[in-house]
Amino acid sequence: MSTVNTETRPAEGANTSQVDNGDSWRRLSPVSIVYFTTSNLKKLAQFLIYVVPALAVSANVLDLQNSPYTVPVLILVLTGLSLSGVVSYLFYRFRVHDQHVEIRDGVFHRRHVNLPFWRIQNVKIEQPLYYRPMQFALVVLDTAGSAEEEARIVAVPHAYAQQLRKQVLAWHQSPATPAQHETAVTSSTPVSEPGEEVLNRRSIGDLVIHGITNNRVWILLGAAAPFYDTISTRAAEWLGARGLQLGQLAGEQTFAWWQLTLYVISFVTIIMAIIALLSVGGALLTFYDYTLSRHHDRYIRRSGLLNKQEVSMRHSRIQLVRAKQDWLDMLLKRVNLYFEQNTSTAQQHADLMSPNKLLVPSVTVAETRELVEQAMPDSRMYQKEYEGISLRYLMHWLGVWIWPPTILALSALVFLQVWDAAAILLTLSLVISGLLWLRWWRWGVACDKRYMYVRSGRLGVDYQCFELYKAQQVTVVQSVLMARAGVATLKVVLASGQVTVPFLPVTTANRLANILLDSAERSRKSWM
């Protein structure tokens, strides 16, 4: 096990026994059975997404809807999930002892996690809907390592969760700070710390805009593709039972072309409105009552309508600030702002759920500048003059990968007089060429004495900003053709991921690489 890091011990007199339960192991509350059952059901649903086509074929071939075995099998599956929740509860133990959090769980694959306080990077507190009436909470202890190093204390009283968070975070504060964290918490909802500064709130109107501009319902529509035939058949039967025959609407002798066009536009509008409402509903569920605060050196995010969440991030651990705008965000003058810290390829989370990112949804440009200035003082992400990438980027993609194959295919289609296909191919090639031109036009890099800035995008625009000394690896890449053209790709590896700027003039790439390496070598600051 890891040895105790004496440099991060709390100040003398700090209360370290409020959550310590000594050598004895503690069992969870029985309400955790609901959590384990729900988690197992979620895993089953994620697995079923990959077998949706097979399920659709089986439903049609085996006629599962009318099979006498369908209902018993479903009951058996649900019973098994419930029993698995009970078994997981019975095999789960945890204890907090001598500034360590230990967890034993698993049935067939037993696991023993031992996390010293000083290795814990984030403490995330969640309150699922079924926990809130009984004032319980889920505590996620993240080390920015692999998923195996993440610890979850599944069901503890909310006051205990808050006190555990305070005690863990006290290890990362200055000697004078921990005493300020000893106030007991008895509320069943996330509570502001004494001296906490609120940096940003999101209103319902802001969340509606975020739901519209960040529509992810298309993912669900794609997953439901194998069921479209069944859905369309049922919809046609439902409409037919009410006297509306879709076949008659398509008949040329029944309606004029403009009437049919009007019906199609109306139908598409209704579908788009339903999709937008679903997306807005999802934004309200996850971002409701969103608050971003700062308490000493920590950012704290609280949000959630049904499931309350509280995530904290140390300011010193912020590796990169990213401001993203798609085309609709640009029209509405909104920005999705991310504070990114250490990440791991073994942990895949949504933006809001990730303990390694803080997302401030759909803020204005003025609010973005203010938040970036607080996180990275004296940064000039929006004011810098960016140096664009080489025109060789366009020559590489258009002159090698796009137009030569397109010209050959167009020649064959024209020779065969397949004019429709030729027109579609030409249009598609022009659209791709336009998007590549926009990407070349957007891509740029800038640097000053403290920060590096990268701009990219196509129809939208993304800005990235990070401190020079936090670069962990810098690579200048050249192929044989790139070397002849005098261009190179700059790759900068941060703890939060990789930042890439392709097809820079080789002198620029080498100059930026030298600046980054010199800053990392000279700086005595810890990137953590």
pLDDT digits (tens, 9 = 90+) for 487-507: 999 999 998 899 999 999 999
Whether 271 maps to a domain, the answer reads no
Q: Where residue 156 falls among pLDDT bands split at 50, 70, 90?
A: very high
Q: Is the pLDDT of residue 182 over 60?
A: no
Task: Say what the pLDDT of residue 243 is.
Answer: 63
Greatest mean pLDDT among 91-95, 140-144, 309-313 lies in 91-95
Average pLDDT rounded to a whole number, residues 200-214: 92
Least confident range of 58-72, 155-169, 424-438: 58-72
Q: Where residue 272 falls among pLDDT bands split at 50, 70, 90?
A: confident
Asked if 326 contacts 459 with a C-beta cutoff of 8 angstroms, the reply is yes
Q: Is the pLDDT of residue 13 over 70?
A: no
Task: Say what the pLDDT of residue 341 is.
Answer: 86
Whether 423 maps to a domain, the answer reads yes
Asked if 468 contacts 492 with a C-beta cutoff of 8 angstroms, the reply is no
Whether 283 maps to a domain, the answer reads no
Whether 448 maps to a domain, the answer reads no
Asked if 360 contacts 366 with a C-beta cutoff of 8 angstroms, the reply is no
Task: Say what the pLDDT of residue 201 is.
Answer: 96
Average pLDDT rounded to a whole number, residues 239-268: 65
Average pLDDT rounded to a whole number, residues 111-133: 88
Asked if 392 contacts 487 with a C-beta cutoff of 8 angstroms, the reply is yes
Task: Say what the pLDDT of residue 250 is.
Answer: 54
Task: Say what the pLDDT of residue 299 is.
Answer: 92
Whether 140 maps to a domain, the answer reads no
pTM of the model: 0.77
Percent of the chain with pLDDT over 70: 77
Percent of the chain with pLDDT over 90: 48
Whether 172 maps to a domain, the answer reads yes
The residue among 425, 442, 459 that closes a domain is 442
Q: Where residue 6 falls among pLDDT bands split at 50, 70, 90?
A: very low
What total number of domains does the chain contain?
2
pLDDT in tens, 17-37: 468 877 889 999 999 999 998
Structural domain including 406 reads 392-442
Whether 218 maps to a domain, the answer reads no
Task: Say what the pLDDT of residue 275 is.
Answer: 79
Average pLDDT rounded to a whole number, residues 41-54: 70
Which residues, 6+ apart, have CB-to-CB distance to 10 below 8 Å? 16, 170, 171, 173, 175, 178
Whether 104 maps to a domain, the answer reads yes
Answer with the residue of higher pLDDT: 185 or 295. 295
Least confident range of 12-21, 125-134, 150-159: 12-21
Task: Say what the pLDDT of residue 504 is.
Answer: 97
Average pLDDT rounded to a whole number, residues 76-97: 89
DSSP string, 206-235: HHHHHHHHT--HHHHHHHTGGGHHHHHHHH
Average pLDDT rounded to a whole number, residues 235-249: 64
Asked if 292 contacts 200 with a C-beta cutoff of 8 angstroms, the reply is yes
Q: Is the pLDDT of residue 176 over 60?
A: no
Angle at the Cα of 326 from the Cα atoms of 323 and 327, rounded to 5 degrees: 135
Answer with the residue of higher pLDDT: 183 or 247. 247
Q: Is the pLDDT of residue 137 over 90?
A: yes
The residue among 400, 423, 442 that closes a domain is 442
Task: Say what the pLDDT of residue 104 is.
Answer: 93
* Burial tier of 385 (Cβ tally within 10 Å: 0-12, 13-18, 19+): exposed
Q: Residues for the chain: how many in total?
A: 528
Average pLDDT rounded to a whole number, residues 32-54: 77
The residue among 427, 442, 457 that closes a domain is 442
Task: Say what the pLDDT of residue 378 is.
Answer: 93
Q: Is the pLDDT of residue 192 over 90?
A: no
Task: Say what the pLDDT of residue 193 is.
Answer: 64
Q: Is the pLDDT of residue 172 over 90?
A: no
